[in-house]
Amino acid sequence: MSSAAQDPRRRVRVRAPGKVNLSLRVGRPGADGYHPLSTVFQAVSVYEEVLASASDTVTLTAQGPGSEQVPLDDTNLAVRAARALARYAGVDEGVHLHLIKGVPVAGGMAGGSADAAAALVACDELWGTGLGREELGSLAATLGADVPFSLAGHTAVGTGRGDLLTPAMSRGEFHWAFAVQDEGLSTPSVFRAFDSLHGYRPDATGGAPLERGDDVALMQALRAGDAEALGALLHNDLEPAAVAIAPRLAEPLAVARDSGALGVVLSGSGPTIAALARTASHALALAAAFTAAGVADRVLTAAGPVAGARVVGVGE
């Protein structure tokens, strides 16, 4: 009998972080249309929370910034995660998932993936399925390319579609300011624009794994805890494509540079712009510069790296 069945009043709260791509390199699409990726993820202290409680079916509600944009049906990654775990573990119970949004919606910071990772951990605890992190990681990989990293957190290199993870050494703490836009960017549209800029079409000559040598200096900066060196090495192959689709993104990029950011980069497929700061107080100053210039609908500050999806509360 699962824990939920033993005590229907039980509640599990799980927190999972958003991410920033310190580097994102994109190759030619293969015949299946997918692009090989090489990326360096850092989990940052902007969080999604999932509150899981017993239910006869799988249901979902959401609150927080942008929650009105979140689908509440079976297309939601958190719902898919709960159903995937139930199938895998042979659980015939439901769950009510309540999302508390903190990561920008459709912002390139993997908020949906964080929801999925949190849902996996929450349901595993609620149902008492007792799966290890390796099994949860395998399930995570079936849900989306960023879900395994949302589960693992910290700093990692992602290859394949970004889902094949190798933990990376990182020393110290890095401070960030984020310029958030209310209007998200569609990841497929950004990749289409990327292909158009490079003249790429899906074919059998694409899809080859990318070499990771381009990020050797970046990895050295992380190991040394050298924020200044890291800032100079931030890179995203998708940035020109995102700016081509949404020219307004050139403005927060320029504001961050003019305000003394150590580096500035589009996070994932955007539209969130991430500015690396010298200190926590400098991150606040960068956020204030975004606000004063009117180039962001919302600003956030955060530090990284932080842990992946974790239980932060169990009770009634």
What the block records as the tokens of 144 is 């989306």
What the block records as the tokens of 88 is 């895998």
Count the Cβ atoms, other than its own, within 10 Å of residue 77. Answer: 24
Closest CA to 188 of 106, 266, 113: 106
**CA atoms of 223 and 305, how far apart (whole Å):** 12
pLDDT along the chain (316 residues), means of 10: 57 97 94 92 98 95 93 95 97 96 93 97 96 94 93 94 90 97 91 95 84 87 98 97 96 97 96 97 98 97 98 86
192-200 own/partner pairs: CB under 8 Å, 24+ apart: 193/241, 193/242, 193/244, 193/245, 194/26, 194/35, 194/237, 194/238, 194/240, 194/241, 195/29, 196/241, 197/240, 197/241, 197/244, 198/28, 200/28, 200/29
Residue 316: the pLDDT is: 63
**CA atoms of 103 and 180, how far apart (whole Å):** 10
Residue 206: the pLDDT is: 83
Residue 8: the pLDDT is: 66
Domains in the chain, CATH or no CATH each: 1-316 (3.30.230.10)
Pairing, β 94-100 against β 37-55: antiparallel
Residue 110: the pLDDT is: 94
Count the Cβ atoms, other than its own, within 10 Å of residue 202. Answer: 16
Question: What is each CA distance from 83 to 123, 133, 290, 298, in whole angstroms?
Answer: 10, 18, 40, 33
Count the Cβ atoms, other than its own, within 10 Å of residue 35. Answer: 23
Q: Please give the single-letter amino acid code of residue 124.
A: D
- Active site members: 19, 146
Q: Please give the single-letter amino acid code of residue 275.
A: A
Query: Bridge-partner residues for 14, per DSSP?
Result: 50, 311
**CA atoms of 189 and 197, how far apart (whole Å):** 12
